[in-house]
Amino acid sequence: MSPHARRSMSALHTWAGVVLGSLMLLIFWMGTLSVFDREIDRWMMPETRLPPSVAAAPLPSFDQTVLPVAQRLAVHGTTWSVVLPSARTPVHTLRHVDDAGRAQRRHLDPRTGAVLEGAASEGASGFFFPLHFRLHLRAFDLGYWIVGLAGMAVLALLVSGVIIHRRLLAEFFVFRPARALPRTALDLHNLSGVLALPFHFTMALSGLAILFTIYFPTAYQAAYAHAGAQARQAFEREAMGKWSRPPAGQAGTLASVDAMLARAQAAWDGGRPYFIRVRHAGDAASYVEVRRAFTDEVTMNLDILYFDAASGEVLHQHRAAGAVGVQRFLTGLHFIQFEHWTLRWLYFIGGLGGCVMIASGLLFWLEARRRRPGAAEGAGFRLVEALGTASTTGLVAATLAFLLANRLLPAAIDGRAALEMQAFFAAWALMLAHAHWRGRRAWREQCAAIAALALGALTLNWLGTGALPWQAPATGAYAVAGVDALLLATALAASWAARCLGRRAQRHTAPAARGEEAA
């Protein structure tokens, strides 16, 4: 490659990272936390911390436990759905519309069907996970497009990074923590980038493939051009298995759901159902959708059966094939909903490595820029520095504030889930303001705040639930024990980082102080 082309690649790598670094850090961080979103849910919703034996045991009759509750809570003629228990989520999750037209989520005890009151939080699966792929921006698919832009930027950064680092493999074995901060940050950037390069590339590419109907609509429009304006509907019906029929406007009945589940399991050669949805509930044209679980395979399959609600007869059956099967494999590879704990931990470590790669790249740019005369005084530099601090230590602090709010807010308070989310964004905004005000010193101070917040969340979980961190494994609450252990590890790591940053600051101020005394 010519020197001019290499310089162009270097400029692309630098400025794409600087401009989109904070956004990419948010997406990587939330994706990393989402690897254990169900486990964080158990920590945030103590009412759902049922023994593991509950999910492992044969489920009682759906007709006798869940169905009466769903029919009592859901409004006639609307849609309600239930996600069945699993090893990671030992409760029924019921979604329905109440009398005021508001969407509700309830957790039910699978042994009795009783509503588990107090589990009003959205948890990590309802906040971190959507923030990862759509930023909670639904209007005009804006969140999807912003995340797609970040995904394309990650691919461009990975490719350009490989090109501009001619000695990439040699640099992988070099890490000099005792050198100046820019050199240390660059070594860490190279090390974390090379170590998980295939993982980062796979996650970015599969993330784009998951939402190809938004980013590349011509893919299905060309294949279903014969359907004209109905191309999207034809694609979703034939390829994705979406089937529907309108309501009849007359009262109807619901046959045994247990019988439908048994019939679905037989059709799938023993495959376990995990999701049930009843549309037009109570209507003569009501129908039941049953989906097969994918906890034992990488592919997030689209095996779906539709039953007539009144008779229990099969109306439509779907199984993804061809290109859609490949897309569903990439979806499963990205979301890792299958049961494989070793791989899940490797995903978590790889996600943290991606965060370190982006953060160290930003830190290298800031420290290298700071050494230029007058550069640190510019408004643009101060803005990038504040964003860099807020999107690293500030983002971690905001996440812990979200967990802390979950433990502090009363269980019965109205709008508790929204207040928890507001606590996250308020803390994040506060960290951004603090970073702009304190400049370089904000890194150390926010590390100290992280340590305090992590210890506070750990302590409040103990005081609020009576579950000591070391007692959780003995009761089978491994999810809770894991979150507590990560909180403790975060507090220790943040304390160590704050101490190291304090020593580095003292070394920098000592020569200046001696110079003033000599003068």
464-478 pLDDT per residue, tens: 887 777 777 777 788
371-384 mean pLDDT: 82
- The pLDDT tens digits of the residues spanning 86-143 come to 989 999 999 999 888 889 999 999 999 999 987 688 999 999 999 999 999 999 999 9
The per-residue pLDDT for 517 is 47
What confidence tier does 171 reach under pLDDT thresholds 50, 70, 90? low
- The pLDDT tens digits of the residues spanning 475-494 come to 778 899 999 999 999 999 99
Q: How far is CA 193 from CA 50, 154, 351, 359, 388, in A?
A: 40, 11, 11, 11, 18
Question: Is 360's pLDDT higher than 90?
Answer: yes
Query: Between residues 39 and 181, which one has the greater pLDDT?
Result: 39
Question: Is 502's pLDDT higher than 50?
Answer: yes
- The pLDDT tens digits of the residues spanning 272-322 come to 999 999 999 999 999 999 999 999 999 999 999 999 999 999 999 999 988
- The pLDDT tens digits of the residues spanning 328-347 come to 999 999 999 999 999 999 99
Cα 406 → chain centroid: 18
The per-residue pLDDT for 9 is 83
> What token pair was written down for 294?
């994918």
> Which stretches of 371-415 are DSSP H helices?
379-390, 393-408
In the chain, % of residues over pLDDT 70: 94
The per-residue pLDDT for 516 is 46
CA-based nearest residue to 54, from 94, 105, 6, 108: 108
213-222 mean pLDDT: 90
Q: How many residues does the chain have?
A: 519
Q: Which of 146-155, 166-175, 383-392 has the lowest mean pLDDT?
A: 166-175
The per-residue pLDDT for 510 is 56
Mean pLDDT of the chain, nearest integer:
90
Q: Are the beta carbons of 358 and 20 closer than 8 angstroms?
A: no
Query: Between residues 375 and 461, which one has the greater pLDDT?
Result: 461
- The pLDDT tens digits of the residues spanning 34-93 come to 999 999 999 999 999 888 777 777 889 999 999 999 999 999 999 999 999 998 999 999
447-451 mean pLDDT: 98
177-190 mean pLDDT: 77
Contact partners, residue 510, CB within 8 Å, separation at least 6: none
CA distance 155 to 250: 53
pTM: 0.93
In the chain, % of residues over pLDDT 90: 68
Largest CA distance in the chain: 95
What confidence tier does 519 reach under pLDDT thresholds 50, 70, 90? very low
Query: Between residues 345 and 505, which one has the greater pLDDT?
Result: 345
